[in-house]
Structure 1
Amino acid sequence: MNRKITLFTFIVFFLSCLPIPLLATAYAETAPSFLLTADKPVDGKITLTMSGKNIDDLYGYEAKLTFDPDRLELAKAESELDGFSVQPIVKNNEITLAHTKTGNKAGESGDFIIGTLTFKMKKDGASSVKWISMKAVNRNLAVHTYSVEESVSVASPKKGFIDLDGHWAKADIELLASKGIVEGMDEHHFVPQGQVTRAQFAALISRALKLKTNAEEIPFADVAPDSWYKDVVTSAYSAGIIQGMTETRFAPEKDITREEMAVMIVRAINHVRGSASEDTTGAAMTFADSESISEWAKEGIHLSVRLGIINGRTEDRFVPQDRATRAEAATVMKRLLSALNLL
């Protein structure tokens, strides 16, 4: 369908193909009104309900709402009317919903629920969703546009993970969780000692730096087009932040090592600043296990340590080949964002 045709035009076109009764249904004497309400958040999601009162013969509609895309993400939209719905259109901060009944039947009348929207809450803090307008069409194609201007406040409770009590990375993890940069393994557990895959760290960097998704081809045969990490790997690769284990293999499910993480951090700084802004020429490693650091990682580790973004596991050992933990990855990311003045 030509994208210049609006959803509402589509509904009117569809309805025009149906048999039209000879007698038009009169609108109720009492003016219709619309209400938007919000349930309590559950498992990081919140459901909003769109209701109508004193409605007369609602056969199809187009509803427009606005929201804060930095804090909310539309997960699902459903109509309570029978018939079929057009896929919701989300453009910037605006949502367009459209639905129509089918067949030669009366529209809905009275007080009833029109539909629901479920949002994923991406960050802590308050935001709002506003129902701007409602175009209503009855079974005879009579159209009326209502200015709704009904809004609800949406507040996400502060994320707290029960397995972080007393943990050294608790503050950093909860800060990034509140901004939607890191997520728990479930609603209540972060699992700070768990490992991080190369794909997961690419996703972490992409979210933290808000890297743009693009259609650039990547050379990695092990990154499937339908994998959850395809977009984040593509974005991080295009930004020059990640490289493959070989020219054609990224190893997305391999746990990332501490030296790999340090090198990616320096590349992220280069992407944002144009350079890491530090002179590493002639600098010597101060770790007792510096000989176990891969040659390609030495400069990245040295620079990230000098910038205070990553530390050794102990005062004199970096342990470059060890797998990075989720707590380490979160802390490194928080320090990176602080160094770049992005927090």
Structure 2
Amino acid sequence: MKRSLQRSRKWLILPAAMLIAAVLSAPDAHAADVQQLTGDRTKQDILNKWQQYKPMDTGTSYMGPERIYMESPSVAVPYKAGTIKPEYIEDGLRAVNFVRYLSGLPDDVTANPSLAGQQQAAALVNALHQKLSHYPTMPAGMDDSLYASAKEGARTSNLYGGSPTFYDNVLGYMADSGTTNIDRVGHRRWIINPEMKQTMFGMVHNANNVAYASMYSMDKGRPASEVQYDYIAWPSAGYFPEEVFKTNDPWSVSLNPQKYDRTRTDQIQVKLTRVRDGKEWSFDKSDNDKSGKYFNVQTSYYGVPFAVIFRPDGIGDFASDDAFTVQITGLYTASGSAAQVEFTTTFFKMMPGLLARYDIQLQKGETLQMGLTDGLQTSGNTFKSGDNRIVEIDANGKVKAVGKGSTWISVNDYLESRSRVYVNVNDGPADGKVSNWAQADYMKAKANGIIGWPFDRSYQQPITRVEFTEMAVHMIETMLGQDLYKDVTDVKTPFKDVDDWTVTWASQNGIINGTSPQSFSPRATITREQAAALILQVYAKTNELKGRPASTGSVSASRFADDSSISPWAKEQVYQATNLSLMNGMAKNQFNPKGELTFEQTYVLLLNCFEMLMEK
């Protein structure tokens, strides 16, 4: 997917008359107050509004070219712009109004049907050129009137290429995180321009079935007096859903030019503070890395003509109810007094997703109740199967393997969220059978994403060091809701006998060591006393990554009957692991410290750790 490399230029060369027309009028005392709206609303208010404005369907395939056109466009001579069905235009409007609601602005933007022709023409000409331009050249064979309409549409629109839905386009405009857009976040600022009252969308698929889209963005049909504000922030003050803001997206604060002096910007600085750990980012004009930590003050007419833009580096993934305080200093009021703006944004998760992050395996006829991540929405989740002939999933997330093959299942698969997992269904003889004592935990572990399909086998056989490491790191990813491979993308493995990112990550984070400085011995097995030490490290590291203390517990006076067989170095870890219920003994009060850890024992071990971590 790509976004316009050209589109950010359009606002730099607007006609002077258009710039003059953008001057804002003073706010009315009875107008909607952005600061009050964002400060007063609850998480439930936001979820309710999401239910009103969510996309018409999950995924990104619902706007295929075979569905969306009332009249299909022609990308060959004689060219035709085509016409989009109203319900798909409405889907784009829902996206616009949802992000405006989140910004504290009136969420009543409507479609302007009179602009439909120019928006389709703009999409058509970019589809023909297979690139985005606000000033496209005339394609050979295009008539003058169609080209004139295309020029006007392209000049006054946000443009997108490669994404198949208007909803996704709007969220892409709001992100504005690319190096050609971050300095002004112009697409975002036009959409959250207080004066916007109407818009229109266009989309044309080229000969290669790539979607090119346009969104009219320069409407000023709303009197400025309707909206009262000191600033308009993205993400806004108060509660904000993390689903619509990625951690590499820039923050922006558009300041009311009627209240703040946009000619005095040299002293403006920003401090961003994460409340849970006190981590601070300070920004000033020296922060100019468009691919990393960034800061800029932009005063051109992209909607509100005064914006402070900043992006932190190394912010990581958001935690539950992750609060950040923004402080902007060095401002001056319109009357010349020194001023500052300060607010707190708290990110929360609206919708749960699937806990499983990696493919799972089922036997034909087997059922599985899928585990879900935390989310404010507790009912009415949208579960789907990619192919009901292979896997069925009901309204409560219970999966049934119906026929041989592979397909995906999803929950709340909106907004490019990671909420799909593939299920492989076998209809032949199973590769062994889990022992009765482990069966219930095996099913729970699989439902919670702990048992990916490569490890769903050989249940009574010993697990190797590399297999245990992969499963443990995947469990930590599930617990954190993060892709940990990003931490070691540029890190070279210290071992000569294995090149696996999970091993590199685990060794770097103190979970498992090599058997020598340059050897990992990936195919060696693990004893149960070694497993006790390893699971304590997994438990402690995951707690650390979640920003909370990890007590490894005390060592009780009771001893296993085979205590004398436990290696001296392992005794404390064995009893700590069992006292924490991370690990269990065996029959007749035995621990069997030198016994090899099996696959099914690993399932139970990791499930115990997972459930202990979830309880905290």
- TM-score of the two chains, using structure 2 as the length reference: 0.33
- Does 2:472 match 1:205? yes
Question: Matches of residues 134-145 of structure 1 in structure 2 within 5 Å?
Answer: none
Deviation at 1:262, TM superposition (A): 0.8
- TM-score of the two chains, using structure 1 as the length reference: 0.55
Measured at CA, do residues 184 and 156 of structure 1 come closer, stay the same or move farther in structure 2, by a change above 3 Å?
closer
Out of 248, 268, 291, which is 2:538 matched to?
268
* Distance of 1:179 and 1:127 partners within structure 2: 14
2:271 corresponds in structure 1 to none
- Does 2:563 match 1:280? no
The residue identity in structure 2 corresponding to 1:319 is N
- Does 2:547 match 1:292? no
String of CA shifts for 1:184-209, please: whole Å, max 9, x gaps: 348xx633213211112112221222
- Does 2:521 match 1:251? yes
Aligned length: 244
The residue identity in structure 1 corresponding to 2:602 is A
Considering fraction of residues, name the structure with more helix: 2
- Asked which structure has the greater RCO (Cα within 8 Å, sep 6+), the reply is 1
Give the secondary-structure state (helix, strand or coil) at the position aligned to 2:162.
strand
String of CA shifts for 1:104-125, please: whole Å, max 9, x gaps: xxxxxxxxxxxxxxx9767664
Out of 291, 310, 328, which is 2:583 matched to?
310
Percent pairwise identity:
19
Give the secondary-structure state (helix, strand or coil) at the position aligned to 1:237.
helix
Question: Matches of residues 1-343 of structure 1 in structure 2 within 5 Å?
Answer: 6-9=2-5, 25-28=79-82, 59=128, 60=130, 61-63=161-163, 82=208, 125=397, 126-130=410-414, 163-164=432-433, 167-185=436-454, 190-210=457-477, 212-213=484-485, 214-215=487-488, 217=491, 220-222=494-496, 224=498, 227=499, 229-230=500-501, 232-271=502-541, 272=543, 274-280=549-555, 283=557, 285-288=559-562, 290-341=563-614
Q: 5+ residue gaps in structure 1?
A: 12-20, 35-54, 67-78, 86-91, 96-118, 133-152
* Distance of 1:7 and 1:285 partners within structure 2: 64
Q: Which of 1 and 2 has greater Rg?
A: 2
Deviation at 1:311, TM superposition (A): 2.2
* Distance of 1:172 and 1:160 partners within structure 2: 21
Give the secondary-structure state (helix, strand or coil) at the position aligned to 1:333.
helix
* Distance of 1:129 and 1:27 partners within structure 2: 31
String of CA shifts for 1:128-168, please: whole Å, max 9, x gaps: 44489xxxxxxxxxxxxxxxxxxxx9797798995547622
* Distance of 1:155 and 1:235 partners within structure 2: 23
Measured at CA, do residues 262 and 27 of structure 1 come closer, stay the same or move farther in structure 2, by a change above 3 Å?
same
Deviation at 1:319, TM superposition (A): 1.9
Measured at CA, do residues 28 and 180 of structure 1 come closer, stay the same or move farther in structure 2, by a change above 3 Å?
same
Give the secondary-structure state (helix, strand or coil) at the position aligned to 2:514.
coil
Q: Which runs of 4+ in 1 moved over 6 A?
A: 21-24, 92-95, 153-161
Give the secondary-structure state (helix, strand or coil) at the position aligned to 1:312.
coil
The residue identity in structure 1 corresponding to 2:450 is I
Give the secondary-structure state (helix, strand or coil) at the position aligned to 1:168.
helix
String of CA shifts for 1:25-56, please: whole Å, max 9, x gaps: 2223675997xxxxxxxxxxxxxxxxxxxx98
Deviation at 1:267, TM superposition (A): 1.6
Measured at CA, do residues 166 and 332 of structure 1 come closer, stay the same or move farther in structure 2, by a change above 3 Å?
closer
* Distance of 1:170 and 1:203 partners within structure 2: 22
Deviation at 1:63, TM superposition (A): 0.9
* Distance of 1:200 and 1:313 partners within structure 2: 23
1:42 corresponds in structure 2 to none
The residue identity in structure 2 corresponding to 1:221 is F
Give the secondary-structure state (helix, strand or coil) at the position aligned to 2:513.
coil
Measured at CA, do residues 293 and 29 of structure 1 come closer, stay the same or move farther in structure 2, by a change above 3 Å?
closer
* Distance of 2:466 and 2:605 partners within structure 1: 16
2:326 corresponds in structure 1 to none
Give the secondary-structure state (helix, strand or coil) at the position aligned to 1:260.
helix
* Distance of 1:166 and 1:174 partners within structure 2: 12
Considering fraction of residues, name the structure with more strand: 1
Kept in 1: contact 2:450–2:475 (CA 8 A): yes
Kept in 1: contact 2:555–2:579 (CA 8 A): no
Kept in 2: contact 1:197–1:253 (CA 8 A): yes
Deviation at 1:263, TM superposition (A): 0.4
* Distance of 2:208 and 2:605 partners within structure 1: 51
Give the secondary-structure state (helix, strand or coil) at the position aligned to 2:614.
coil
Kept in 2: contact 1:219–1:247 (CA 8 A): no
* Distance of 1:317 and 1:80 partners within structure 2: 69
* Distance of 1:199 and 1:218 partners within structure 2: 17
Give the secondary-structure state (helix, strand or coil) at the position aligned to 2:597.
coil
* Distance of 1:131 and 1:306 partners within structure 2: 43
Measured at CA, do residues 333 and 62 of structure 1 come closer, stay the same or move farther in structure 2, by a change above 3 Å?
same
Kept in 1: contact 2:462–2:599 (CA 8 A): yes
Deviation at 1:252, TM superposition (A): 1.9
Measured at CA, do residues 191 and 80 of structure 1 come closer, stay the same or move farther in structure 2, by a change above 3 Å?
farther
Deviation at 1:331, TM superposition (A): 0.3
String of CA shifts for 1:212-262, please: whole Å, max 9, x gaps: 3323857732354xx3x32x1222223322122223322222122211111
Measured at CA, do residues 27 and 242 of structure 1 come closer, stay the same or move farther in structure 2, by a change above 3 Å?
same
Measured at CA, do residues 63 and 190 of structure 1 come closer, stay the same or move farther in structure 2, by a change above 3 Å?
same
Give the secondary-structure state (helix, strand or coil) at the position aligned to 2:469.
helix
Kept in 2: contact 1:63–1:131 (CA 8 A): no
